[in-house]
Amino acid sequence: MGIIEKIKEIEAEMARTQKNKATEYHLGQLKAKLAKLRTQLLEPPKGSSAGGDGFEVTKFGHGRVALIGFPSVGKSTLLTMLTGTHSEAASYEFTTLTCIPGIILYNDAKIQLLDLPGIIEGASEGKGRGRQVIAVAKSSDLVLMVLDASKSEGHRQILTRELEAVGLRLNKRPPLIYFKRKKTGGIAFNTTVPLSHIDEKLCYQILHEYKIHNAEVLFREDATVDDFIDVIEGNRKYIKCVYVYNKIDVVGIDDVDRLSRKPNSIVISCNLKLNLDRLLAKMWEAMGLVRVYTKPQGQQPDFSEPVVLSTDRGGCCVEDFCNHIHRSLLKDVKYVLVWGTSAKHYPQRCGVTHVLQDEDVVQIVKKKTEEDGARGRFKSHSNAPARISDREKKAPLKN
């Protein structure tokens, strides 16, 4: 029996098993079996080199966004609108057969947007080009799940299930469970909170299923069996997702209103060019991108090319900023001067752990070249507005 048949069999058994106190151990075990099989399914077949027929597109810019959705929801139309790169759009399904990259220029940053073939139910098990598409989604910093506002709302759940089946977790953070395999000593199980979804015995059973007999487990939140399995598997990818309901030009205002109120969602129409600017702003926010402008001493800040950092990936404190400019820079930094929303007064003298915010201006003062005489003059800016406005970008910032 192949892996997919085994998965189907377990899924069927789970579906016909009633959920109650008496069956929870059995169900937990089935979940672990299922997770193991799905991991097996993702492993490249023996003898084949990794990758191969995937959609290898080189990463580019300050972040990568993947367009994921059923066929003909308007992914290619959206790519063309947002990037200017043409991607064939048509009224028949599976118009797009490969990965097509485009670049969004937004807030002085470059964001790579990837158009992809439509996926269908069963994609995670290899239907259509599902596996390759999902692999690209996994490599992204943000998933835009494109949905047709006029079609069934169940599509969102189906797609989420397909992505979850291959270890993607959308808009979630890793569970607060400490887990460490050991060589000896048995299982040390501890919890800092009362657990309502899982207990010690079930935990042991799941570990037994994975043939793990020595480990340290500490629950720091009221986590579920699925959370625990995610931690054991260890290969989960936690990615932000924005749900994009396209084609609102063909549905009634009540539907538009309802869809727009769903969490992490936005309604758009490519045909009418409706709400695309809001979509860009939402993407920017979801990606946690932060622009930092450098200011050489005694000169105007360079507003033409920001250093773009991410709160989610890599972090955005002064240290990250310095490392971004040059790896060897940090050791020479004495302190930095910061103008912008993260500063209490202008400029604020900060150390390397100071967390920067979008549109901050930073001047680096190096150990050898420090000129303390300049500090007195900075004070004159303490009444400046909290945000570097477009007008100020053009006006001179002293020192």
Ligand X SMILES: Nc1nc2c(ncn2[C@@H]2O[C@H](COP(=O)(O)OP(=O)(O)OP(=O)(O)O)[C@@H](O)[C@H]2O)c(=O)[nH]1
Q: Which residues bind Mg ion (CB under 5 A)?
A: 75-76, 95-96
Does position 250 interact with ligand X (CB under 6 A)? The reply is yes
Position 118 contacts ligand X (CB under 6 A): yes
To the nearest whole angstrom, how small is the minimum distance from the Cβ of residue 76 to K ion? Answer: 7
For position 247 contacting ligand X by CB under 6 A, the verdict is yes
Residue nearest to K ion (CB): 95
- Please say which residue, 89 or 309, places its beta carbon nearer to ligand X: 89
Q: Which does 312 bind (CB under 5 to 8 A by kind): ligand X, K ion, Mg ion, none?
A: none
CB-based contact 321:362 (threshold 8 Å): yes
Distance CA 50, CA 284 (A): 32
Which residue lies nearer to ligand X by CB, 115 or 141?
115
Q: Residue 188 binds what, of ligand X, Mg ion, K ion, none (CB under 5 to 8 Å, by partner type)? A: none
Residue with tokens 């599509």: 155
d(CA 257, CA 245): 11
Chain residues 73-102 in contact with ligand X, contact rule CB under 6 A: 73-77, 89-91, 93-96
Q: Say which residues have a Cβ less than 8 Å from residue 91's Cβ, sequence separation at least 6.
A: 72
The distance of closest approach from Cβ of residue 244 to ligand X in the complex, given in angstroms and rounded to an integer, is 11
Smallest gap from Cβ 110 to ligand X, in A, equals 22
Which of 72, 132, 246, 275 binds K ion (CB under 5 A)? It is 72
Q: Which is nearer to ligand X, 203 or 270 (CB)?
A: 270
Is 300 one of the binding residues for K ion (CB under 5 A)?
no
Of K ion, Mg ion, ligand X, none, which one does residue 250 interact with (CB within 5 to 8 Å by kind)? ligand X
Is 270 near ligand X (CB under 6 A)?
A: yes
CB-CB contact of 268 with 246 (8 Å): yes
Q: How many residues bind ligand X (CB under 6 A)?
A: 24
Query: Among residues 35 and 270, whose Cβ is nearest to Mg ion?
Result: 270
Q: Between residue 49 and residue 78, which ones bind ligand X under the rule CB under 6 A?
A: 69, 71-77
Pick from 13, 24, 249, 392 the residue near ligand X by CB under 6 A.
249
**For 338-342, which contacts have Cβ atoms below 8 Å and span 24 or more sequence positions?**
338/362, 339/295, 339/381, 339/384, 339/388, 339/397, 340/386, 340/387, 340/388, 341/386, 341/387
Binding segment for K ion (CB under 5 A), chosen from 91-99, 125-133, 142-150, 359-367, is 91-99
Q: Does residue 265 interact with K ion by CB under 5 A?
A: no
Considering beta carbons, is residue 44 or 126 the nearer one to ligand X? 126
Whether 331 contacts 352, CB under 8 Å:
no
95 touches K ion by CB under 5 A: yes
Tell me the closest approach of the beta carbon of residue 88 to ligand X, in angstroms: 7
Q: Closest distance between Mg ion and the C-beta of residue 232, in Å?
A: 37
Nearer to K ion, 144 or 361 (CB): 144
Our CB check for ligand X shows the closer of 119 and 336 to be 119
Pair of tokens at residue 335: 């302190």
Which residue's C-beta sits nearest to ligand X? 118
* Least spacing, CB of residue 77 vs Mg ion, in Å: 8
Q: For K ion, how many residues bind (rule: CB under 5 A)? A: 2
| Count of CB atoms situated within 10 Å of the CB of 362 | 25
The site for ligand X (CB under 6 A) is made up of 69, 71-77, 89-91, 93-96, 117-118, 246-247, 249-250, 269-271
